[in-house]
Structure 1
Amino acid sequence: MSKFKKGGKSELPAISTASLPDIVFMLLFFFMVATVMRDSSLMIENILPSADQVEKLKKDRTAFIYAGKPSSQYKQLGEEPRIQFNDKFIDVDEVQPSVLEAQRALTEELQPKFVVGLKVDKETHAGLVSDVKQELRKANTLKVMYVTNVESKQ
């Protein structure tokens, strides 16, 4: 008679799944907070110029107009600088209706505060920018900002 039994095979206890929902929700919450939703896919080459005095604005009342050469996947459109607004290429005469439509999509209290951001490639000719600004004037959209990179001070 021995005190210790040689019991052969003993089973491992089952893995507790009680904390599994907590882990899943914690991961879900992390990815919801850490993920950034992109407004539009960039279809042009856009290297922004640098500036030393910049100010950050809220994006809730801003529409962006991009200008630059088509990117490599859109080279069939040529080498001339193009205008992009909300995932599509537009011509200069389509700027006014596109901006007015974006402004109407805002709530009534944000419509008077509507701002158009110009993200223009630094190699784009000033004539195209001038044409876009003329169309914005016709749409009575007078709040325009130029988006730039922050110039590093050395």
Structure 2
Amino acid sequence: MAKFTKKRGKASPAVSTASLPDIIFMLLFFFMMVTVLRDSDLKLQVNTPEATQLTKLEEKSLVNYIYIGRPTKQYQAVYGTSPRIQLGDKISTVDDIPLFLEQHKVKLPDNKRDRITSSLRVDGEVTMGIVQDVKTKLRKSNQLKINYSAGKRAQALE
């Protein structure tokens, strides 16, 4: 009598790709939710000076960015060509700085408020008069942590 044996497949079954689109869309939605886009639309031309000795700011949420420069071509009809100050998304004056600082301070927890830094992004062609006015207003507003933003200079090979 002959014995009938079933041939069992020695190969593993194919990997199902039916759930692959679901995984891709879940990743897409995840990255859409956690990505932080630029906070403000830059209305000024700011070409920061270059430097070789730079330190990176650790917590970006504790930084107030104050832009100082000349308006871009599309905003020159409205704001002129003289240097201006941009706080957040709008062109402002020196007198608006305390309110800007307070609005940022309110969003943070109490234990982090003393670590807020104001970062001045100043165009290299701007005179120091407007920068000094901003620094004076920051000092009067009790914002004593200030830094100047700069771009990284390519080091010359020796």
**TM-score, structure 1 as length reference:** 0.82
Partner of 2:84: 82
* Distance in 2, Cα, partners of 1:131 & 1:71: 22
* Distance in 2, Cα, partners of 1:18 & 1:150: 45
Partner of 2:62: 61
How far is 1:68 from its partner? 0.3
Partner of 1:9: none
Structure 1 residues 28 and 97: alpha-carbon distance in aligned structure 2, compared to 1, 3 A threshold? closer
* Distance in 2, Cα, partners of 1:111 & 1:59: 13
Partner of 1:98: 100
Give 1:56's aligned amino acid. K
* Distance in 2, Cα, partners of 1:128 & 1:18: 59
Give 1:136's aligned amino acid. L
Structure 1 residues 83 and 22: alpha-carbon distance in aligned structure 2, compared to 1, 3 A threshold? same
Give 1:95's aligned amino acid. I
Unmatched 5+ residue regions in structure 1? Answer: 1-15
Percent sequence identity over matched residues?
36
* Distance in 1, Cα, partners of 2:33 & 2:70: 34
Give 1:24's aligned amino acid. F
- Give 3-state SS (helix, strand or coil) of 2:100's partner: helix
How far is 1:30 from its partner? 5.2
Structure 1 residues 20 and 94: alpha-carbon distance in aligned structure 2, compared to 1, 3 A threshold? closer
Residues 5-154 of structure 1 mapped to structure 2, 5 A cutoff: 17-29=18-30, 35-57=35-57, 58-76=59-77, 77-154=79-156
* Distance in 2, Cα, partners of 1:143 & 1:29: 35
Structure 1 residues 30 and 143: alpha-carbon distance in aligned structure 2, compared to 1, 3 A threshold? closer
Partner of 2:6: none
Say how many residue pairs are matched.
138
Structure 1 residues 37 and 91: alpha-carbon distance in aligned structure 2, compared to 1, 3 A threshold? same
Unmatched 5+ residue regions in structure 2? Answer: 1-16
> Is the contact made by 1:100 and 1:139 (CA closer than 8 Å) also made in structure 2?
no
Q: In terms of mean alpha carbon deviation, does 81-90 or 104-113 score higher?
A: 104-113
How far is 1:25 from its partner? 2.0
Give 1:143's aligned amino acid. K
* Distance in 1, Cα, partners of 2:31 & 2:117: 32
